[in-house]
Amino acid sequence: MDDLLNLAHDLAERLLPAFDKTETGIPLPRVNLKTGVPEDGRTTTCTAGGGSLLLEFSLLSRLVGDPIYEIYARRAVRGLFSRRNADTGLVGNVVDVHTGEWTGKMAGLGAGVDSFYEILLKSFIMFGEMEDADMFNSSYTSIKQYMRRGRGSCNSGSGLHPLYVNVEMATGNTATNWIDSLQAAFPGVQLLAGDVEEAICHHALYYSMWRKYGCLPERYNWKLDAPDVK
């Protein structure tokens, strides 16, 4: 066990330079595990990449008795959450780590954003920090208000089967006609949040794709009812 913890501690130390060199606290997208931050000029990262280390870094801090890892990870999460759109409460999918400007303004539950929401809830479950619950609950309210389409109830009423789509972060208007395979993990997040019926309904959508194709398409066009990227 000590060997695994030592390896995790060593890896975290090698990742810290990505956090050190930004004003926002959001880490740079690349770090060389031998030499540190590369001089490649890359300053943008996806929301999931920049804001999904809270659970692991916080646990590491507790196991090794050094708060620095949780401090850095929490600063990154706060940096992203504080930049959510004032009107919708949604975050985009790509941000400049130096300026804090959103260079990708699509909000969704799949690639680029997915684990940002997941880790907020799982961190709250693990550590009981109300800040994490507040950020998740606020985000989930915005998700259901702006991303959800279809009939109001999962298993009753008329209309299309409920669906969570990609939207423009500033307006909530539909941004794409596709959803991607990474979004299939979100029903598990909804289940952990206690939104059981919605989780079942959301899972059914992806399970139907799996049954139809034998696997999940990378991107599925819900308007054409066919894969965009097979």
User: What torsion do the CA atoms of 158, 161, 166, 171 make, to the nearest 10 degrees?
Assistant: 10
First to last CA, the chain: 41
Structure letter (DSSP) for residue 174: B
Sign of CA dihedral 219, 77, 171, 152: positive
Catalytic residue among 56, 129, 131, 218: 218
Other Cβ atoms less than 10 A from the Cβ of 149: the count is 15
Distance CA 226, CA 229 (A): 9
* Helical packing angle, 114-127 and 54-64, nearest 10°: 30
Tokens 């759109």 belong to 85
Helix (H) or strand (E) holding 45: strand 44-46
Residues 117 and 137: beta-carbon distance below 8 Å = no
Q: How far apart are CA 207 and CA 184, in angstroms?
A: 9
Q: Is 218 a catalytic residue?
A: yes
Q: Annotated active-site positions, please?
A: 218
